[in-house]
Amino acid sequence: MFSYNDLQVIDVVARRGSFSAAAEELHKVPSAISYTVRTIEERLAVELFVRLHRQVELTPAGQYFVEEARNLLKQMEQLRLQTQRVANGWSQSVSVALDTVVRESRVNTLVRDFYRQFPDMELHLTMEVFNGVWDALADGRADIAIGATAAIPVSGHFDYRDMGVLEWRFVVSPDHPLAATSHPLEEKELSQYPAICLEDTSRVLPKRVTWLMDNQRRIMVPNWHSAMSCLKSGLGITVVPAHMALPRIANGELVEKELAVKPAFSPCCLAWNKATRNPAIEWLLEYLGDSEQLHREWMR
């Protein structure tokens, strides 16, 4: 109904308060400005301006129209800029999948720094468990995965950066029967108690469990927060990432016990789909740093 030029004329006339001043700013003759305003008013069947001797003032309808016109102008400008960005390899959003083993305290800093760098883009974060991070990459739900296992379970154009290994600690509640033991715990003894297991969030790839004895009952939980709650309540047993376990061991919330068969370290990595690179992803990959920085900031 109205062109960008029409809306711009109304905006400038309202801001400058006269047809002549608007004409000067827009490099047009006053009669052209007056004609554009009159044509718009005829389309609307309302008066937008009250004509005075050398100036104009907005009517109540004109005030409303100007406010909406300015919103439309901003949206049209955003449309132009975003289209140019897409043509140059940008996208409106970046999706990052984080394995639940990473330090959640680091996420807030990532979000803050991203929006400082890209105030017009959206950052989509999801928390995944085990093969869920690879599933999100393979399915296109994520552009980058932080804390993925280094063993890539899918084929595709993926690249990765080593994040070091994740160490596991076996911990129980101070009130749990195993807390009083002084010998390395064998599988037969451990299997008497339910294992607290995180539910793999993979939708297509095979689901997996990190730590479970044969014929052991399970308590399935969605995340480490729930797992810690079950642990501290003495409802079950499990191994916990060292960076989550150590502070709780230090303050007495949990007790570490020795296992006869120690859990293997878990190699982790930063992974991304090489087919979806854009400037925001490039910035994130540089921001997240090398292997040493990744391990220090996300795995300790």
Task: For the chain, give every domain's residue range.
Answer: 4-87, 93-165+267-298, 168-264
Instruction: Give per-residue pLDDT as tens, 183-192.
Output: 999 999 999 9
Instruction: Give per-residue pLDDT as tens, 207-220.
Output: 888 889 888 999 99
Q: Does domain 4-87 have CATH number 1.10.10.10?
A: yes
What percent of the chain stands above pLDDT 90? 70
Which residues are paired to 97 by β-bridges?
A: 126, 145
The separation between the first and the last C-alpha atoms of the chain, rounded to the nearest angstrom, is 59
Q: Does domain 93-165+267-298 have CATH number 3.60.40.10?
A: no
User: 4-87 and 93-165+267-298: same fold?
Assistant: no
Residue 122 reports pLDDT greater than 90: no
Instruction: Give per-residue pLDDT as tens, 17-52.
Output: 999 999 999 999 999 999 999 999 999 999 999 999
- Over residues 66-90, the mean pLDDT reads 82
- Over residues 153-172, the mean pLDDT reads 86
Quick check: 75 and 264 in contact, CB under 8 A?
no
Quick check: 255 and 179 in contact, CB under 8 A?
yes
Instruction: Give per-residue pLDDT as tens, 124-143.
Output: 999 999 889 998 988 889 99
- Is 0.85 topped by the overall pTM? no
CATH number at 168-264: 3.40.190.290
Quick check: 33 and 10 in contact, CB under 8 A?
no
